[in-house]
Structure 1
Amino acid sequence: MSSDTKPAQGTWHRRTGSDNGGAASIRTLSGSEPEDAGLYSAPTSHEGPGYEVEVPTVTCRRYAVIMVGLPARGKTFLSQKISRYLAWLGHESAVFNVQRMWRESLGVAVAPKGSTGSPGTSEYMLGMGSAQPTAESGDGSGNTPPTAGSATAKQQFIHADTFFQAFVANSKARPTSADLTDSTDKAPPSSNAGADEESPEATAYSAAVSHCVDRVKAFFGRGGLVAFLNDDFVTKASRDDVEARLQGVADSVLYIEVLRDDAINARFEELKVGNASEYGPEAGSRGAATDLAKRIALLKSVYERVGDDKSFIRIRNGSHIDLHDVRGYLPSRMTSFLMHLAPQNKAFCPIYFSRHGQSEYNLEDRLGGNPLLTDKGHDDAVALKNFIATIKEDNDRMLAQQEELRSAAAAPDAPGGPQNLPQMQKPLQIWTSQLTRTIQTARPAETELGIQCLRWRNLNEIHAGVCEHLTYAEVKEKYPLIHDFRKKNKYAFRYPDGESYQDLVARLEPVIMELENADRVVVVVAHQAVLRALLAYFGGSNAEHSVHVEVPHRTVWRCSYDASGIPTMDEMKLPPNPDPEAAKAAAAAWAKPT
């Protein structure tokens, strides 16, 4: 966005890479076309001198994580979330989506210029270069993927029968009489009789798997540590095939199997049907729902759970986790993260961020401290309360609808008998620091709207140590070396007796984990440095560059997720209060902290 164009107040503005000078902005990851196509340019934390970053030494094992489960169970969502979390910790990770690459290859009518090999082969697909990557299947080159509908990017809608025949032709899948899926319903019989291993669909699917493995190998060669292969992989044969291809590429293979009972999966199937990257407009909502149901039924007929001869993490209904032969630092971090992660409810529960209202120290350009809000700051608090009131109204309406559905399902005469539906929506919360300026900012919403407010010490502003309470001009005059060193490396420099941004990132990890686990809408009211770090994580930007991101007052950022776990970051400038006198009176009423 150019400097002479500002977003209208009261409207959402999509944060993009050109805002705030490029590198220091919050990068948008939205829909099915994230900028880096699956390889997150995520926050990293480097220790020691900068030149050590260039040493090409891999100090950890390289892990290939194979996602397993029926469609619409949350595999893509989980792989995206874990990948971003690992990257935040400084471990390069990427997600490679086999089916998306397969659909794209079927949509290519002719071989692109410069490609080699016959159609459907790995060499043929590698010849496509940057024309091939889309969400989750990118090679991290930073090349912009082609626009949807172009000759090399068109995705073909694959009907369930075609998909299943191509799948069984490659995996040698056989129907099983045992019900091994996460559903209690008996799977319908199916057969792979007549599956053509030489069909274009089957050949393209095999090539897509090979191409993903080739990209994983290239990713590891660039220093990557964790690669997620995202597909259904519901049969032992299909898993053995991809694991054999990974021999010599990855040091260890870990499976993450995602199970969810049919009774609680309907809501997530609706999300998948409505995902444009899964079913295009040519499918139609009814046709897409029918096709998805058929595809799930076909895959159920051949489903085999991951056996005890493999290392796996098995997640059932988002609340039960089984581990088998899971060892090592990175698998342990993945397990810990999964134990804190809400079961895909983040698709329904966005997170809002806002800076506290203007404080006395903001007016004086002072660091740290625990100042009170100014009159303008109290006006900012009222504006935030008005905004939160609209969120609460929508949330309360969803709560009422949910209770009606729960009551109807629990009735004795309910179709299929009484059921105890899970509570998907909960009252929203406000999270603040323990410093007065954030508490004052949240108090109008907390008291007048009756919203629960949690106060986190971890959300306190970065501590400036010996520079607390000083203006920036006083720091430059009194501590010139501190001023100069911090200017050279703002992220890593630690104030004497204080903190660095790198320390702040570590301090915020528990907050991030709890936000990931939050099964409700949360509004975070915090400070400039804290919001820089949080917006970097949830927006997928680089933590070291985030120190220069502008975090103005009277602004709200919204982080929302699609069904695939791709985050989108939007911002809104809060409009002026409609009644300045009423706002002033409210500010006076809340002028004193508790």
Structure 2
Amino acid sequence: MAQHSDIARSAIISSATSPNPATMGDQRNMNPRSNGVSSIGNGIGSGKEGALMPPPKTVVGRALGNDLHSDVHKASQAPKGGVGTALTDTPISTAPLSPQIVGRTQPGTPGSARVRATTLDIPGLTKSKVSPDGRIAQRDVGAKLVIVMVGLPARGKSYITKKLARYLNWLQHDTQIFNVGERRRVAAGKSPSPAPTKGQLKGPKGVHRDLLDSVRRLSVSVGSQNKGETSPPDEAPLPPPVVPAKILVNGQEPDASTSTNGSTVVPSIDAGPGKSIPDAEAITEASPEPMDQTANFFDPQNQRAVKLREQVALDTLDELLDYILDEGGSVGILDATNSTMERRKAVVDHIRNRAGPELNILFLESSCVDQSLLEANMRLKLSGPDYRGQDPVKALADFKRRVALYEKSYVPLGEYEEKMGMAFIQMIDVGRKVVAHQTHGFLSSQVVYYLLNFNLSPRQIWITRHGESQDDQAGRIGGDSDLSENGKRYAKALTTFIDHQREKWELYQRQKDLIRHFPPRPGDSTPPNPSYIPSDRPRNFCVWSSMMKRAVQTVDHFNEDEYDVKQMRMLDELNSGRMEGMTYKEIQDQYPDEYAHRKKNKLFYRYPGPGGEGYLDIINRTRAVIVEVERTTDHVLLVSHRSTARVLLSYFQGLKRDEVANLDVEMGVVYMLEPKPYGVDFKAYRYNPDKDWFEEVPNYQLKQVSTHERSASIVA
């Protein structure tokens, strides 16, 4: 009877999306609440497994009076089983189940595999037995994600992957990009292979493989075949017509003990049967004779190049899977064209052969129909590694020939992927239009949310701390004090300076539009920013501050007829809990253990007491601000505090995890970030109180708080 009850219960679930058969398991092992059906009354605590009850009554729209009192009275009656019944106005959910994975049972354990939900994992905000810190656990392969890029060259794939990886890493989900083009250039001898340190030489399953392992496996001597050489037993066989790779040291095959000049060959590391990795210092080039990288290299009739490209693509995918399965990564992004259905099927098959059915795969296709966007992307290619230093007109013609070769066999995502229930996202014109299909996982949903909210429109993003406050003068953290006299001067100067910069930027854009030309002239490789907003009016300018008095007073002089001034609690300073309003010396004296704990690991530390926060809390509450900044086509000035400014700057600059909490964000400095198709331009202007003006700091680089400063205080 229990089995029939489970079947009946599952029939209630909405059929809006069909579950993947690979994820279906014994429904009896599922929490009955996870399928959207609320167990009411006798269904809870009655001992009747799977008992179904009618939906609860709703009180929406009912006036507060006898009717509501009656419902409350009925709900408060003593329930059967002694558990209790909560009053609710929420109808039964018809949403699909949360994504699930089939957990493998331990060897020797009877019974079928357990079905387990894969829901949100947020460092600092969630925890579980397998993940006390909220990160995606190593064993939770079903919660991880492989993103496979799809699209013709010059469609913005690398731009999208870099932004996406920066965002996911900022959210503390370990993400890495695996670019097939970079490894293709190394394998073809176009780019030298950088020599890693000896500590990075870990063997075929080491912690750091990257380009060293690419050289081992991708430096292909395609003209000859080692028929006696076999693949290592832990690796999948390569599909034909790929030829096994030879190791080339200084362009030659090394002897077992000596080089061609008689000197001793450097020690090598075992790389599996019949293979070895030479020491890093011995690797200078991937190929003895660099292969032609013009459009001819991408011709399907060029069998030597085809073999090398296939080998590169497969080995790059293996590196990605090593990162996901063995090295603790959460998201791996395969940056390549993957423009044919055959190639995409091969990618899926290879992932399934190594990782099984649990690992999530999301195809992300970028296509462009806007000619100005294609123009910008092509300009970028002219200054890239394949065409750098060449005549831009000739380079452009060659690049168009390369694209034409890809177009002959290009098959966009669509009917086949929908029929097979595969998850994919299609982006048209880098965010102008987005189509999502079967993106149910937590990480996949984060990807969709982010991709819906960024654009290429030219604009400026300004970040600064508030002016000096009275608490700053007293050396106290937190609090909500007013600006000091110095702070008031800074606020007035900031308003005047931003007015000036706004006018200067508008003038520059008008001049840029006048000299815009395509095809490019010799020496011109600067890409334009495509924009979908009217260019016949000045750009709007937003000024956002925290809700604390010292930040609100810093933006008090901006004319609200000219600027969109808004206060956001998400930009408030880190809350110090019971240590609010104390000096660092007082904290060290009164809470020595907390002082030492935070100094040891500030990123993961949370202040004790009511409202106490840590940097992970700030990352999560500023996420909405980051997405809004990415979405808007307007200029924006963010006036916040040291901790929030650190988090904001770490996102835009793509800083590493251990650099966020000790970033030196100076008071009296305003930072300017200008998104470009190739990245973000970064400048800094320091306030000069003698001139009452801001002066640009040449070649400004963000830095970490010095060791001396860190030893003197815990720095908020």
Please say whether Structure 1 and Structure 2 have the same fold, judged by a TM-score greater than 0.5: yes
1:211 matched to 2:315: yes
Bigger Cα displacement from structure 2, 449-458 vs 89-98: 449-458
Aligned match of 1:237: 342
Compared with structure 1, are the counterparts of its residues 105 and 476 closer, same or farther at alpha carbon in structure 2 (3 Å cutoff)?
closer
Bigger Cα displacement from structure 2, 477-486 vs 425-434: 477-486
1:519 matched to 2:636: no
1:360 matched to 2:470: yes
Bigger Cα displacement from structure 2, 330-339 vs 285-294: 285-294
Q: CA RMSD in A?
A: 4.0
Aligned match of 1:334: 447
1:290 matched to 2:400: no
Q: Distance in 1 between matches of 2:139 and 2:682?
A: 34
Aligned match of 2:180: 98
State the shift of 1:530 in Å: 0.8
Compared with structure 1, are the counterparts of its residues 405 and 286 closer, same or farther at alpha carbon in structure 2 (3 Å cutoff)?
closer
Out of 263, 269, 273, the position equivalent to 2:377 is 269
SS of corresponding position for 2:347: helix
1:163-222 Cα distance to aligned partner (Å, 9 max, x none): 431xx3xxxxxxxxxxxxxxxxxxxxxxxxxx032x2x2232122112201211221210
SS of corresponding position for 1:547: coil
1:498-532 Cα distance to aligned partner (Å, 9 max, x none): 23222222211111111222323322211011112
Q: Distance in 2 between matches of 1:103 and 1:541?
A: 27
1:422 matched to 2:532: yes
1:447 matched to 2:559: yes
Out of 503, 517, 524, the position equivalent to 1:393 is 503
Aligned match of 1:196: 302
Compared with structure 1, are the counterparts of its residues 126 and 305 closer, same or farther at alpha carbon in structure 2 (3 Å cutoff)?
farther
Show the 5 A alignment for 1:91-130.
91-107=173-189, 115=216, 118-119=220-221, 124=245
Does structure 1 retain, via aligned residues, the 8 Å contact 2:149–2:337? yes
1:458 matched to 2:540: no
Does structure 2 retain, via aligned residues, the 8 Å contact 1:103–1:155? no
SS of corresponding position for 1:470: coil
Aligned match of 2:652: 538
Aligned match of 2:546: 433
Q: Distance in 2 between matches of 1:454 and 1:254?
A: 37
**Letter of the 1:263 counterpart:** Q
State the shift of 1:403 in Å: 8.8
State the shift of 1:157 in Å: 9.3
SS of corresponding position for 1:549: coil
Does structure 1 retain, via aligned residues, the 8 Å contact 2:439–2:445? yes
State the shift of 1:458 in Å: 0.7
Compared with structure 1, are the counterparts of its residues 432 and 543 closer, same or farther at alpha carbon in structure 2 (3 Å cutoff)?
farther
**Letter of the 2:183 counterpart:** M
Does structure 1 retain, via aligned residues, the 8 Å contact 2:577–2:613? no
Q: Distance in 1 between matches of 2:490 and 2:589?
A: 33
- 5+ residue gaps, structure 2, are 1-121, 196-211, 223-241, 251-279, 418-422, 517-529, 694-716
Compared with structure 1, are the counterparts of its residues 296 and 387 closer, same or farther at alpha carbon in structure 2 (3 Å cutoff)?
farther
1:137-172 Cα distance to aligned partner (Å, 9 max, x none): xxxxxxxxx9xxx7569997966531431xx3xxxx
Compared with structure 1, are the counterparts of its residues 155 and 100 closer, same or farther at alpha carbon in structure 2 (3 Å cutoff)?
farther
**Letter of the 2:474 counterpart:** E
Does structure 2 retain, via aligned residues, the 8 Å contact 1:466–1:497? yes
Out of 486, 494, 507, the position equivalent to 1:376 is 486
Q: Distance in 2 between matches of 1:532 and 1:126?
A: 45
Aligned match of 1:73: 155
Show the 5 A alignment for 1:116-265.
118-119=220-221, 124=245, 151=285, 161-165=295-299, 168=300, 195-197=301-303, 199=304, 201-220=305-324, 221-250=326-355, 251-265=359-373
Does structure 1 retain, via aligned residues, the 8 Å contact 2:148–2:364? yes
Aligned match of 2:89: none
1:494 matched to 2:607: yes
Does structure 1 retain, via aligned residues, the 8 Å contact 2:172–2:657? no
Q: Distance in 1 between matches of 2:399 and 2:639?
A: 41
1:504 matched to 2:618: yes
SS of corresponding position for 1:265: helix
**Letter of the 2:583 counterpart:** T
Does structure 1 retain, via aligned residues, the 8 Å contact 2:187–2:220? no
Q: Distance in 1 between matches of 2:131 and 2:370?
A: 52
TM-score (norm 1): 0.69
1:312 matched to 2:402: no
Q: Distance in 2 between matches of 1:73 and 1:97?
A: 15
**Letter of the 2:454 counterpart:** L
Bigger proportion of residues as helix: 1
Q: Distance in 1 between matches of 2:164 and 2:439?
A: 16
**Letter of the 1:510 counterpart:** A
State the shift of 1:253 in Å: 2.3
Q: Distance in 1 between matches of 2:311 and 2:444?
A: 29
Q: Distance in 2 between matches of 1:513 and 1:126?
A: 46
**Letter of the 2:617 counterpart:** D
Compared with structure 1, are the counterparts of its residues 164 and 480 closer, same or farther at alpha carbon in structure 2 (3 Å cutoff)?
closer
Compared with structure 1, are the counterparts of its residues 92 and 115 closer, same or farther at alpha carbon in structure 2 (3 Å cutoff)?
closer
Of structures 1 and 2, the one with the larger relative CO (CA 8 A, separation 6+) is 1
Does structure 1 retain, via aligned residues, the 8 Å contact 2:155–2:374? no
Q: Distance in 2 between matches of 1:88 and 1:268?
A: 27
Aligned match of 1:303: 410
Does structure 1 retain, via aligned residues, the 8 Å contact 2:382–2:396? no
Q: Distance in 2 between matches of 1:497 and 1:563?
A: 44
SS of corresponding position for 1:397: helix
TM-score (norm 2): 0.58
Aligned match of 1:413: none
Compared with structure 1, are the counterparts of its residues 340 and 384 closer, same or farther at alpha carbon in structure 2 (3 Å cutoff)?
same
Compared with structure 1, are the counterparts of its residues 293 and 431 closer, same or farther at alpha carbon in structure 2 (3 Å cutoff)?
farther
Alignment identity in percent? 24
1:86-117 Cα distance to aligned partner (Å, 9 max, x none): 22333221111112221222226999999578
Q: Distance in 2 between matches of 1:109 and 1:334?
A: 32
SS of corresponding position for 1:454: strand
Q: Distance in 2 between matches of 1:256 and 1:272?
A: 21
State the shift of 1:387 in Å: 4.0
Does structure 1 retain, via aligned residues, the 8 Å contact 2:298–2:402? yes
Bigger Cα displacement from structure 2, 53-62 vs 507-516: 53-62
1:471-509 Cα distance to aligned partner (Å, 9 max, x none): 334445555665455445433223311232222222111
